Amino acid sequence: MIKFECDYSKFLNEAEFSERVRQTGHFVWLTQRSTKGGWVDWPINYNGEEFDRIKKAAEKIRSDSDYLVCIGVGGSYLGYRAVIEALGGERGRTKLVFTGNSFSARELEKALDQVKDADFSINVISKSGTTTETAIAFRFFRQRLIERYGIEEANKRIYVTTDKDSGLQGEIAQGHYESFAIPHNIGGRFSVLTPVGLLPMAVAGLDVDKLLEGAEKERESLIYTGGNATSYAVMRNVLLERGFNIEVLASFEPSFHHFMEWWKQLFGESEGKDGKGIFPTSVIYSTDLHSLGQYMQDGQRIVFETFIESEKTEAEQVVVPIAVSDADELNYLAGRKVDDIKHVVAEATRKAHVAGGVPVMRIVMPDISEYSIGALIYFFEMACALSAFTLGVNPFNQPGVEDYKIQMFRLLGKPGYN
Ligand code: PA5
């Protein structure tokens, strides 16, 4: 179970806090019944037949491809990259290439170059099937695949993950590609545990059963009252009401970089609407203690900080060595695990920031494993929905994302956009 710690007593008394938790907990019901609330019961409702097909496809890709080119953006990209990197990267022969998430020709060339002399397959992932970044990259990579293997074999190396009503359905029919469904009632940023993320994560060698199991267990603890996710959602809104309108997610693990990108999308796209919302941003310590740390300690008091941590010490064997001369005066740390030092520095950072007037919260998972990351994803998804409903916005739409697209299509001369 994901733990949540916060000293709320500075902002609310116990009765006020309990009342807010009780009120916020009601939104679990609203979330579950929402037309885009399919993710709430997904860990117990997913399609077993499709799950087996995903595992079989992953096995094939792992046996015949050096690379799986994952083409997608936003909710069709960030989640699986986040999980794979947080868990230490790909295990086995097949590496992942992430593309279709920018308009950068340099990045596209780099990705094409990576697969130049290698065997590869493609997983194009798009709920709408019309996202321009993704569509352009798919065109490039499909052509490269055909040049390399001929049309028949190329078609066997293309896997499409999309919605039943998507613009990619025509392509699937034409190419007879193997396809997986993005459930109609689950929006992009809530879809990492669906086929969107399951195929790339299985190809990376992760234990996808354990990911879903972790999410399922977390669901059990949140499904009636929202549990710890409710407390987190309550405190975010209480702090916003007190003028703290920026949330900084902090981790001492550099491999969590993309997890934070996923979290920013989840909260930013779900809450930032109707002139409301907390601005989500992130830091990786200790790198950022030597840059943004100054602002955190001493800048405008509009920022609160949420630490994600794991209880268990990783890498038991990484210990500070003893030196005969002790010229660097580090022998006082000799014999200590580097990860233990990390935990101490995290505590010191929290103490310093609290003393500097920064409200600090802590989200703690038992360890960094598939099971715990599955639970953490579910925790944040539930907290995000509850927090957005508390704020009075719909967590599941993103009307603002469409505006730049209309301008872009006009400027690019897309037919019908003059
Ligand atoms: O959360 C969302 O809905 C968005 O971020 C989408 O995932 C993103 O825009 C990509 O869309 P699509 O999957 O349709 O290509």
Could you say which of 116, 290, 329, 402 is catalytic? 290
Q: Domain ends where: 162, 187, 206? A: 206
Using CB distances shorter than 6 Å, the residues near ligand 1 are 73-76, 126-128, 131, 134, 187-189, 269, 398
Are residues 50 and 197 located together in one domain of the fold?
A: yes
Residue 290 annotated among the catalytic residues of the structure: yes
pLDDT digits (tens, 9 = 90+) for 391-406: 999 999 998 888 889 9
- The CA-atom distances, in angstroms, between 139 and each of 158, 160, 210 are 12, 13, 34
Q: Residue 159 falls within a domain, yes or no?
A: yes
pLDDT for residue 301 is more than 90? yes
Are residues 133 and 268 located together in one domain of the fold?
A: no
Are residues 319 and 228 located together in one domain of the fold?
A: yes
For position 136, what pLDDT does the model report? Answer: 98
Ligand 1 centre to CA of 77 (Å) is 9
Could you say which of 269, 305, 309, 370 is catalytic? 269
Q: Residue 403 falls within a domain, yes or no?
A: no
Running DSSP on this structure, what letter comes out for residue 418? Answer: -
Residue 405 annotated among the catalytic residues of the structure: yes
Could you tell me the pLDDT band of residue 8, with boundaries at 50, 70 and 90? very high
Are residues 61 and 169 located together in one domain of the fold?
A: yes
> Mean per-residue pLDDT for 292-298?
96
Are residues 258 and 286 located together in one domain of the fold?
A: yes
Could you tell me the pLDDT band of residue 389, with boundaries at 50, 70 and 90? very high
Tell the residue nearest (CA) to atom 8 of ligand 1. 74
- Atom number in ligand 1 closest to CA 265: 5
Could you tell me the pLDDT band of residue 314, with boundaries at 50, 70 and 90? confident
> Mean per-residue pLDDT for 177-192?
97
Q: Residue 381 falls within a domain, yes or no?
A: yes
Tell the residue nearest (CA) to atom 2 of ligand 1. 188
Quick check: 134 and 152 in contact, CB under 8 A?
Answer: no
Tell the residue nearest (CA) to atom 15 of ligand 1. 126
Tell the residue nearest (CA) to atom 5 of ligand 1. 74
Are residues 231 and 172 located together in one domain of the fold?
A: no
Q: Residue 416 falls within a domain, yes or no?
A: no
Q: Domain ends where: 206, 235, 268? A: 206
Mutation probe of ligand 1 site: the residue of 70, 80, 131 with most atoms within 8 A of C-beta: 131
Could you say which of 26, 184, 257, 405 is catalytic? 405
Q: Residue 14 falls within a domain, yes or no?
A: yes
Are residues 217 and 313 located together in one domain of the fold?
A: yes
For position 313, what pLDDT does the model report? Answer: 72
Distance (Å, whole) CA 45 – CA 58: 21
Are residues 120 and 169 located together in one domain of the fold?
A: yes
CATH of the domain at 120: 3.40.50.10490
> Mean per-residue pLDDT for 11-26?
96
Q: Residue 406 falls within a domain, yes or no?
A: no
- Atom number in ligand 1 closest to CA 196: 13
For position 256, what pLDDT does the model report? Answer: 98
Residue 337 annotated among the catalytic residues of the structure: no
Q: Residue 337 falls within a domain, yes or no?
A: yes
Quick check: 276 and 269 in contact, CB under 8 A?
Answer: no
Q: Which domain holds residue 69?
A: 39-206
> Mean per-residue pLDDT for 256-269?
98
Ligand 1 centre to CA of 16 (Å) is 38
- Atom number in ligand 1 closest to CA 187: 3
Are residues 248 and 287 located together in one domain of the fold?
A: yes
pLDDT digits (tens, 9 = 90+) for 54-76: 999 999 999 999 999 999 999 99
Are residues 272 and 339 located together in one domain of the fold?
A: yes
Are residues 260 and 380 located together in one domain of the fold?
A: yes
Ligand 1 centre to CA of 128 (Å) is 7
Say how far residue 334 (Cα) sits from the centre of its chain. 36
- Atom number in ligand 1 closest to CA 182: 13
Q: Residue 300 falls within a domain, yes or no?
A: yes
Nearest to 201 by CA among 49, 74, 82, 379: 82
Distance (Å, whole) CA 333 – CA 159: 51
For position 312, what pLDDT does the model report? Answer: 87
pLDDT for residue 315 is more than 80? no
Q: Domain ends where: 159, 181, 206? A: 206
Ligand 1 centre to CA of 134 (Å) is 10
Mutation probe of ligand 1 site: the residue of 99, 128, 402 with most atoms within 8 A of C-beta: 128
Number of domains within the chain = 2
- The CA-atom distances, in angstroms, between 368 and each of 242, 260, 314, 344, 396 are 33, 15, 8, 18, 28
Are residues 197 and 241 located together in one domain of the fold?
A: no
Phi and psi at residue 120, in whole multiples of 5°? -150, 160
Nearest to 253 by CA among 199, 309, 320: 309
For position 66, what pLDDT does the model report? Answer: 98
